[in-house]
């Protein structure tokens, strides 16, 4: 029985799922959190529902990968690592080089590394994990699944920036988007839940979490998305600013005596919910403190406001809407946030039934019965999309 490992790596986390293929059955899954920090956490969930959690200081990226494989053996999930015949890696940026997922060759790996400028927080660490798993599982076929490939066929009117055209021709300066693997799964699953072909629907999917993005689907095609040249653009996020006047960045760089890379670091890691609240990038922390901390409340209000702006503009761009879908960490679990977004969009006929909305992390239609525009919560499953692409490209 062939097994395929899906790797979803971030700068401080490593999420993974092991599937039995082609049945698409999850055998085990896990998360390594707080990498390279005191109190690193290693979590495993087995097929029978049993959960195992270990803590260890300063788990490195390479050690995390090795621990995944050693635990799979020690827990009896696999007898031999040779049972794992495929590994799929989520890669954020494929630029215009990769318009589909790709089997990883030395040339492909080199290109992933060269695309680091398009996703500086993600591509380097994801390329590193490719090399680690190639070393640990030398016989397994490795596949790169690109977030940006969903947007490869976006209309030029939406992916071009209004700057000299030669910058696009010479440097690839355009909107690439991100979170495409998540948006792709959620759109297809929404069509299944509504019992209609995706090609017959106009959808807006909201991937809301530490990183947040909004994507518009018109009859099966992603026609616009909020993230831009890098994942820094778009809606407000946990630590990322989202959209900002470029002149303000230059102004602040001069006033703060910072270089442009230092300013980009501020916008990526010290802004967003964290920057406004001056407390936390986590919506849960802000919800708990919003009554006594005006900055916590302001941060939450700004987050909702920025999401609503994108949804409203995409409804106009689509010329109508069949469904709006919440996914990812706060999208799946943010009961108050979902209600706040829907309330601000009530003019369009978007509504949430509070009784249906009062849950976290479950797949559900939360709009009132009979609503013309459906509102859904669909937990994302990037790993399933990853292993499906491994299966498609290696069989």
Catalytic residue numbers?
147
* 284 labeled part of a ligand binding site: yes
Task: Give CA–CA dist 383/2, Å, rounded.
Answer: 16
Instruction: Evaluate whether 309 touches 317 at the Cβ level (below 8 Å).
Output: no
SS3 197: coil
How distant is the alpha carbon of residue 381 from its chain centre? Answer: 10
Q: Is 55 left (phi over 0), alpha (psi -120 to 50) or beta?
A: beta
Beta carbons within 10 angstroms of residue 29's beta carbon: 17
Contacts of 249 (CB under 8 A, 6+ apart): 260, 263, 267
Beta carbons within 10 angstroms of residue 356's beta carbon: 15
* 211 labeled part of a ligand binding site: yes
* 207 labeled part of a ligand binding site: yes
Task: Give CA–CA dist 12/19, Å, rounded.
Answer: 23
* 208 labeled part of a ligand binding site: yes
Beta carbons within 10 angstroms of residue 64's beta carbon: 24
Task: Give CA–CA dist 82/233, Å, rounded.
Answer: 41
* 370 labeled part of a ligand binding site: no
* 220 labeled part of a ligand binding site: no
User: Cα angle vertex 9, ends 323, 40, to 5°?
Assistant: 115
* 293 labeled part of a ligand binding site: no
Task: Give CA–CA dist 4/88, Å, rounded.
Answer: 8
SS3 357: helix
* 283 labeled part of a ligand binding site: yes
Q: What's the burial of 49, exposed, middle or buried (CB within 10 Å: 0-12/13-18/19+)?
A: exposed
Instruction: Evaluate whether 8 touches 386 at the Cβ level (below 8 Å).
Output: yes
Longest CA pairwise span in the chain (Å): 61
Terminal alpha carbon distance of the chain:
14
**Please, what sign has the CA dihedral across residues 308, 309, 314, 316?**
positive
* 282 labeled part of a ligand binding site: yes
Length of the chain measured in residues? 395
**Residues placed in the known binding site for substrate:** 90
**Residues placed in the known binding site for Mg(2+):** 8, 382
**Residues placed in the known binding site:** 8, 15, 90, 207-211, 282-284, 382
**Residues placed in the known binding site for ATP:** 15, 207-211, 282-284
């Amino acid at each position: 029985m062939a097994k395929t490992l899906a790797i979803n790596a971030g700068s401080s986390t490593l999420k993974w799922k092991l599937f039995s293929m082609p049945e698409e059955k999850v055998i085990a899954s896990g998360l390594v959190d707080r990498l390279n920090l005191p109190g690193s956490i290693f979590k495993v969930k087995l097929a029978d529902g049993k959960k195992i959690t270990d803590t260890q200081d300063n788990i490195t990226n390479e050690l995390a990968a090795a621990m995944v494989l050693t635990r799979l053996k020690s827990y009896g999930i696999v007898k031999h690592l040779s049972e794992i015949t495929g590994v799929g890696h989520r890669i954020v940026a494929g630029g215009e080089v990769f318009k589909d997922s790709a089997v990883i060759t030395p040339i492909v790996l080199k290109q992933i590394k060269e695309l680091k400028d398009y996703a500086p927080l993600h591509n380097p660490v994801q390329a590193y994990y490719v090399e680690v798993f190639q070393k640990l599982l030398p016989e397994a076929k490795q596949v790169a699944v690109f977030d940006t490939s969903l947007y490869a066929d976006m209309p030029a009117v939406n992916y071009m920036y209004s700057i000299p055209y030669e910058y696009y021709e010479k440097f690839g300066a355009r909107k690439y988007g991100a979170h495409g693997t998540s948006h792709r799964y959620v759109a297809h699953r929404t069509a299944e839940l509504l019992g209609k072909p995706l090609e017959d629907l106009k959808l807006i999917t909201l991937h809301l979490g530490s990183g947040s993005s909004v994507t518009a689907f018109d009859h099966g095609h992603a026609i616009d998305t909020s993230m831009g040249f890098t994942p820094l653009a778009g809606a407000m996020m946990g630590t990322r600013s989202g959209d900002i006047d470029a002149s303000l960045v230059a102004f602040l760089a001069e006033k703060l005596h910072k270089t442009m890379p230092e300013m980009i670091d501020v916008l990526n890691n010290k802004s967003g919910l964290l920057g406004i609240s001056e407390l936390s990038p986590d919506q849960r922390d802000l919800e708990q403190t919003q009554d006594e901390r005006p900055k916590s409340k302001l941060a939450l209000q700004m987050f909702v406001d920025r999401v609503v702006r994108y949804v409203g503009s995409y409804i106009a761009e689509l010329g109508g809407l069949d469904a709006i879908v919440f996914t990812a960490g706060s999208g799946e679990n943010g009961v108050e946030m979902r209600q706040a977004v829907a309330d601000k969009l009530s003019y369009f006929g978007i509504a949430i039934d509070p009784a249906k909305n009062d849950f976290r992390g479950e797949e559900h239609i939360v709009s009132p019965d009979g609503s013309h525009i459906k509102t859904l919560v669909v937990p994302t499953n990037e790993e399933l999309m990853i292993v499906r692409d491994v299966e498609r490209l290696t069989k």
